[in-house]
Chains A and B, each alone.
Chain A
Amino acid sequence: MKTHSTPSLGLLRPWLKTRPGRLLAVATTLLTLGMPQAQASSHSDAPLIKQDPQVNLTDVYAFVRQRPSGEKVLVVEVSVRPFSEPGDGVIYDRFADDALYCIHIAHPVTGVTIQRYNFRFSDMNPVKGPSLKNPDTILSYGRGTEVGPILNVGDARQNYTQTYTISRNVGERVTTLGRNLMVPPPNVGARTTPAYNDAETGRAISGATSRETLDSYTQETTYDLPSGVTVFAGPREDGFYADTAGIFDLLDSRILDNTGSLADGLGQDGNGVDGFKGFNVLHYGIVIPLSQLPSIAYTGALQPAATGVGVFASVRRPQAILYPSRTSSSAFVQVNRLGNPLFNEVLVSLGSKDLYNRTLPNTDKSTFARFAENPEVAVLINTVFGTGFATTGRADLRAVYIPDVIRVNTTTGPVRVAGDEGYSRLSFIGGDTIADGNGNMIPSGWPNGRRFGDDVVDIALTAVASGPTFETITVVGDNIPSNDQVYNRTFPYAATPHAGTRNEKDSMRIWKAATD
């Protein structure tokens, strides 16, 4: 059996299974700085959600694109279930059947939800049909009523097929937009799910530029619904990248204790290691025509007066009524939410992390604004590096994070995506800007929306170091400038999931694919 452990993975091991959200490591490190070592592990980010990977949201992406027809749309994609090991997909890559996965279109100023799209999935562990064709085999994929590679999603060789229903809430009104939509199989490997993979190397192929060039499983499960929205839910490659180990290193006590002898700072193996390399996630996403969205004025970060929407994601679980005398409830209770990258992970302090997940953005102003305005992370960086980054009065960070919805300016044309000419992972810092409806140049990527490949770690830390004036932009970041898989340039933009048998835990080494 092929094992996937590498030295870099070893470093991640302590929190491999318990990652509650992006940059737990950073948060933990930053926030426990100076605390006794023994306490560090218990001071995790949002302790409750980490025990619940299936409903653990990790990233929300939202950006403006255009359909081949010319219709402008908002793309929203959400990642959940971090660190999905490709080889485990056969058994575990399933959405929770008791949870409601939501995408919120919110007021960009108040954070109040205006529209909500709900994904509800079918039975995770059925013992009989219709989701399971053959209960008398150990295989979920490759043997249903027939044995062999899966040719089409849900065919006789795909034993287990999860399906979902999508609905939309506008106020009290609920509309079902689609039923019995299929989730494509995980990328088991070249023999079971050949359409995902390169026939020669057995590795996932990605980078499609149009619907037609997507792998056939993804094509078949990308649904254009009568209401005008397009949806997809299924396994994808984790599009987030960061050198978590390197960030640990940045705040290493050897640097802290540096007494002027740089012997400490040199000679280490300093190459960045993408802690998320080789892992998959589950993913749900929607494409909504701009004509179906509200258009609301707000003041965006690093841009003049703007018009657009706010976006965030949440997961809910059904409420259970314990009193015997009362009737059962159909209500759901929110267990996780996510808007901008790194907010709950890096800015919100330990005591409030679980509270964040239980509340909605409309209360952020009163509850969480202080974390954005007075970023403790700047205090810590100052302590470590002797820098003088502004630690209070950060109106710039408040404009990005409060309320914590990703604000997308919908007056722009379609933004560049990774692979397009002029796209920069650093967004405006790298000169990647786009004209808004008034002809002003604004960031193409985060903090105006967020695209796949936006290097949010570098952008966020750079912003912390450079704001509120940005007169001198101090670049702070990790050493990971790219994802380990090439993104698609069409919906779903997230890359093809890694294959269970052959994946990308290896390095960037070229020719590896050809010679391995």
Chain B
Amino acid sequence: MNEPPYPTSLVLLASVTAVGLITWSIINPVTPAQAAVEQPAPAVVLEVKTLMEMLGPSGPVSKTDRLLVEAEQMTLKRPQKAASWIQLGDALAQKQRETQAPSWYAQAEQAYQKAWQIEPQNTEALNGLAWVYGGRHDFKESVRWAKLALEVDPTHPISHGIIGDAAVELGDFERAYESYQAMMDARPDLSAYSRGAYLVWLSGDSRKARWLMQQAIDAGGPHAENTAWCHTRLAMMLFHEGALLPAAQAVEKALRETPDHAPLLLMQGKIKVAMDDEAGAIAAYQAVLTQEENHEALVGMGDLHLLRGRKQEAEAFFQRVEKLHLSNAKQGIHDHTQMARFYADHDRELEKALTFAEEHAQTQNVYEADTLAWALYQKGEFLRARKAIEIALRAGTPDAEIYYHAGLIAAAIKDRSGAKKLLARALSLNPRFHPLHSGKAVKALDELAQPLATTE
């Protein structure tokens, strides 16, 4: 059998991580962990002991853990081989993806650095480093490393993919299309399909996006988790289309393969809430929370309680959200856009919401712009909100929440017919887009249906 020109695992890893980032930012407008800002770690070789410590008391339990230990042992046996370090970097990267814990970035970075020092022209090392920086949202560095890889191999799909990922995050769709197309031309596989699917979806073509995502699922990846991501995103697209039954079916099927996959469970919670299945939603969110504190699960639980009028229980969850945020901040992880959205959605700490959202005042990213607009609206800054929401609407992303925000903003600046259409559009896309806000959208639409002015 012919060896592929580059290890499949890295391609997939890089892709699914990017996919993960993006998906995360959809399910949850902002990436929680990936935006980590970390201290440079000491340049020591990982000891097996340290690794075992990092894996926790249960030791290597998953397939990825075992790969990790194997790779680590390989670096001890053949420390002069770049390939050993790359194998380790890839395993660490997959670990990061599965746990979403930012500490693995530093480990992976070290491994790739090592490989790069041994072989400065090694594209996998270069792309590995590009991936690490991209994960930390340091897009300038990320693109720089990816371009170094392209100097060695101008058609390397991963380098194009990573450059595309940065472009997507920065809202530069033209560049993203170019890069993802180059990736697709070089190697159509799970990573290329799923990236393309997301970009196409962001650009408003839900049908083609779903088709591409199905291609990604059919193509498959080496880790069950890779495909689970794609299932999550497919369900996300269906959810945003208001196709609740098919979305639920998609999630359920995928959960049979990967029952603990947090993003799938979060998606399931969201769908169950929309389908008025309170018990099902709680089960899904709790399943995530038994693994770890999770922003989206906590907010989901809180909203569910709020929806049923249980304010105190809701508040307890919202306080856990704030606690999680503080503890993340201590570790240097800034989840500011996510928090801005949380505050704006719940009409609390609006000052903070705006401060956080304004960190991306110049953004072209759909979700950052949407969050900024929403925070501005909640603060009563309607004209600035309008400017921001125009950026969020520009691509035609079929997400009801964006149209809902836009509708309220339009109403606030007295564009009644615009407001009606935008709200109707939101409700048409997915009438149950948000546990707390879809009802408000209906109400706002009702209020806009005033008697017509007759001619004088």
A residues with a Cβ closer than 8 A to B are 149, 151, 194-195, 198-199, 201, 203, 205-209, 212-216, 246, 250, 260-263, 265-267, 270-272, 385, 418-426, 428-432, 453, 462, 472-479, 481-483, 485-486, 489, 508-514
Contact = CB atoms under 8 A, between A and B. Distances in A.
A206 to B, nearest CB: 8
Contacts of A511: 386, 390, 410, 415, 418
B188 interface: yes
Contacts of A422: 431-432
21 contacts: A212-B451, A213-B450, A213-B452, A216-B452, A262-B215, A265-B212, A271-B203, A418-B424, A418-B428, A419-B442, A424-B242, A424-B244, A425-B428, A430-B243, A431-B276, A432-B431, A453-B428, A477-B241, A482-B424, A482-B428, A489-B449
B14 to A, nearest CB: 19
A503 B422 CA distance: 16
Nearest to A203: B417
Given A423-B431, A453-B428, A479-B207, A262 B184 contact: yes
A215 B452 contact: yes
A334 B350 CA distance: 65
A212 B417 CA distance: 19
Contacts of B181: 263, 266-267
Interface string B248-271: 010001000000000000000000
Given A421-B439, A426-B242, A486-B421, A271 B415 contact: no
A67 B206 CA distance: 38
A462 B238 CA distance: 12
Given A263-B181, A423-B431, A482-B425, A429 B415 contact: no
Contacts of A151: 455
Contacts of A477: 207, 241
B448 interface: yes
A431 B275 contact: yes
B79 to A, nearest CB: 40
B239 to A, nearest CB: 10
B429 interface: yes
Q: Which of A208, A476, A481 has the most CB of B within 10 A?
A: A481
Contact of A207 (B192, B212, B431, B448): B448
Contacts of B429: 481-482
Contacts of B415: 510-511, 513-514
Question: Closest 10 A-B residue pairs measured CB to CB?
Answer: A270-B205, A482-B428, A473-B246, A431-B244, A421-B442, A430-B242, A209-B449, A194-B455, A514-B415, A271-B204
A419 B242 contact: no
A513 B200 CA distance: 28
Q: Which of B275, B452, B454 has the most CB of A within 10 A?
A: B452
B451 A270 contact: no
Nearest to A485: B421
Given A207-B449, A272-B204, A510-B418, A262 B196 contact: yes
B280 interface: no
A486 B386 contact: no
B196 to A, nearest CB: 6
B420 interface: yes
Nearest to B253: A472
B168 interface: no
A266 B238 CA distance: 20
Nearest to B439: A421
Given A199-B453, A203-B417, A510-B406, A423 B427 contact: yes
A429 B205 CA distance: 20
A477 B243 CA distance: 11
B245 interface: yes
B207 A246 contact: yes
Given A199-B453, A481-B242, 9 more contacts: A195-B452, A208-B449, A262-B193, A270-B207, A430-B245, A430-B430, A462-B243, A482-B428, A513-B417
B428 A420 contact: no
Contacts of A206: 420
A199 B454 CA distance: 9
A261 B183 CA distance: 11
Contacts of A481: 241-242, 398, 425, 428-429
A215 B207 CA distance: 37
Contacts of B274: 431
A265 B427 CA distance: 30
B185 interface: yes
Contacts of B454: 195, 216
B163 to A, nearest CB: 16
Interface of B: 177, 180-181, 184-185, 188, 192-193, 196, 200, 203-208, 210-212, 215, 238, 241-246, 249, 253, 274-276, 386, 389-390, 393, 396, 398, 406, 410, 413, 415-418, 420-422, 424-425, 427-432, 438-439, 442, 445-446, 448-455
Nearest to B196: A266
B114 to A, nearest CB: 36
A270 B203 contact: yes
Contacts of B448: 207
Nearest to B234: A475
Q: Which of B206, B431, B453, B454 has the most CB of A within 10 A?
A: B431
A451 B184 CA distance: 42
Nearest to B455: A194
Contacts of B200: 266, 270
B444 to A, nearest CB: 11
Contacts of B185: 261, 263
A317 B432 CA distance: 46
A474 B238 CA distance: 10
Contacts of A478: 207
Nearest to A385: B211
A399 B452 CA distance: 43
B428 A514 contact: no
A261 B424 contact: no
B246 A475 contact: yes
Contacts of B390: 510-511
Contacts of A430: 242-245, 430-431
A213 B410 contact: no
A474 B246 CA distance: 7
B222 to A, nearest CB: 20
Contacts of B180: 266
A201 B449 contact: no
B210 A475 contact: yes
Given A266-B184, A425-B242, A430-B243, A510 B393 contact: yes
Contacts of B196: 262, 266
A459 B269 CA distance: 25
Nearest to B446: A209
Contact of A431 (B206, B212, B416, B432): B432
B220 to A, nearest CB: 15
Given A266-B200, A481-B398, A486 B246 contact: no
Contacts of B453: 199
A481 B205 CA distance: 11
A262 B212 contact: yes
A473 B249 contact: yes
Contacts of B207: 246, 250, 270, 272, 476-479
Contacts of A508: 396, 421-422, 425
B242 A265 contact: no
B188 to A, nearest CB: 5
A213 B451 contact: yes
Contacts of A423: 427, 431
Given A194-B455, A261-B188, A430-B243, A510 B410 contact: yes
B410 A267 contact: no
Given A246-B207, A271-B204, A473-B245, A213 B449 contact: yes
A484 B352 CA distance: 37
Nearest to B398: A481
Nearest to A201: B417
A207 B420 contact: yes
A427 to B, nearest CB: 10
Contacts of B416: 198
Contacts of B276: 431
